[in-house]
Amino acid sequence: MTRFKRTMLVVSLLALVVAACGGDTTDTTDGDTPATTAAPDPAETTTSAGEAEEPTTTTAEETPVVRLSALSGGLTAIAQLVIQENGFDLANGFQGEYFYNDPDASGQFFLQRNSDIAFDFDSLGAAIARTQDINVSVFYPLVNNNNCILVQNDSEYQAVEDLTGQRVGHFGADSGTTTSISTILSEFHGMNVFEDFELVETGPPALVELLGQGEVEAIFDFVPHQSRAFVEADARCLLGPINKYLAEQDTGLVNHLSAMTAYDDWLAENEDLALMVMAAWDEAFAWINEDPSRITEGVYAEALAQDNPEVLALIADQVTEIPLFANEWGPDIVDGAEAWVDLAAEQGILIDANPGGVHAIVGGS
């Protein structure tokens, strides 16, 4: 059943969306908006989830509002927070309204249209939604796929095949991390994650402790938890980061960990706003890469939920080494991302066919 949890979530959300739009579907939920948390030391533009409103109607003299949502405690929160803290929204012609969501509420928050653009969606998530007639599209990248299979540095494992039959930690069969690693192992190593490993499931932070204590032989994890595993569990990447792995295979496949995603109708009606948000991210991207240590200090360190100076220093290095963030988009990259969705469908990972329309190019470039 775990293979279908992510799909079932979208099916459930579809019922909520229909109910919210005045359909005949009976709403059996309590009607509450998913909980969100404010960014550390939030700017005045940050509001709580319960205060989410319809997009503001503006006159020519007013600054249009765009509601942005990100996953708290990770790199999408950093991407959004850099825009917010540096005023890159106003500099590019819009006023951001910012939401930072807990993992169990993030997708629901966006799919119920509480935000205009989600910073924490991926191609497979959009594909699953589209199979249920929830027409959302990925239109600009934010975070490269930095997922790794991690083992302890002094372990005997030299190839993923060596882990066959061993206990391996992950944080959900339907998570973007497990699905991307599963796709890689199936396509390039002839392995089945769910049959070849003894899987142990817990949260991304707790996986680091499991590895460090020898409770598992390997874990699937991402930055910043991966960074902490290097420092505090003496870990190394046995396979990954995924973006580098795909580049080495020279197949043209592209899979971003997170990307800007919006409803098709919003994109059609607000192309100029989407371009403004993309431009704001371009400025944030340049600001981060100019001095990566910036995202390891103050409110940014709080957003990453990391306080170990060694871990934070490593994250700063990973910004350019992996690299962590992305802002290149165009026909070739979209073709590679579409090929990734095709491959996931071919393997039967959460979808059986590419529904089409998963990716969009805003502004025709």
Tokens of 84: 């917010």
Q: Tell me what pLDDT residue 45 has.
A: 37
Q: Tell me what pLDDT residue 61 has.
A: 64
Task: Identify how many contiguous H helices and E strands the chain contains and give both numbers.
Answer: 15, 11
CA–CA distance, 124 with 340 (Å, rounded to integer): 9
pTM to 2 decimals? 0.85
Q: Tell me what pLDDT residue 203 has.
A: 92
Q: Tell me what pLDDT residue 16 has.
A: 34
Domains and CATH numbers, the chain: 2-145+255-364 (3.40.190.10), 148-240 (3.40.190.10)
Q: Tell me what pLDDT residue 7 has.
A: 44
User: Among 281, 298, 307, 141, which residue's Cα sits nearest to residue 224?
Assistant: 307
Neighbour tally for 102: CB within 10 Å: 15
Residue ranges in the chain whose pLDDT is less than 50: 1-35, 37-53, 55-60
Report pLDDT digits (tens) over 11-52: 444 433 322 332 333 333 333 434 454 444 433 334 333 344
Q: Tell me what pLDDT residue 174 has.
A: 84
Q: Supply the DSSP string of 162-199, one letter for each residue.
A: GGTTSEEEES-TTSHHHHHHHHHHHHHH---HHHHSEE
**Alpha helix stretches (DSSP H) within 21-122:** 75-86, 88-91, 106-111
Report pLDDT digits (tens) over 312-331: 999 999 999 999 999 999 99
Q: Tell me what pLDDT residue 365 has.
A: 55
Helix 5-20 vs helix 123-131: crossing angle, to nearest 10: 60
Q: Report the half-sphere exposure of 113 (CA within 13 A, side-chain side).
A: 17
Measured in degrees and rounded to the nearest 5, phi and psi for residue 74 equal -150, -165
Report pLDDT digits (tens) over 265-306: 999 999 999 999 999 999 999 999 999 999 999 999 999 999
Q: Tell me what pLDDT residue 103 has.
A: 81
Q: 215 with 230: CB under 8 angstroms?
A: no
Beta pairing, strands 95-101 & 198-201: unpaired
Q: 238 with 160: CB under 8 angstroms?
A: yes
- Number of residues in the chain: 365
**Cα angle, residue 46 at apex, residues 141 and 138 outer, rounded to 5°:** 20
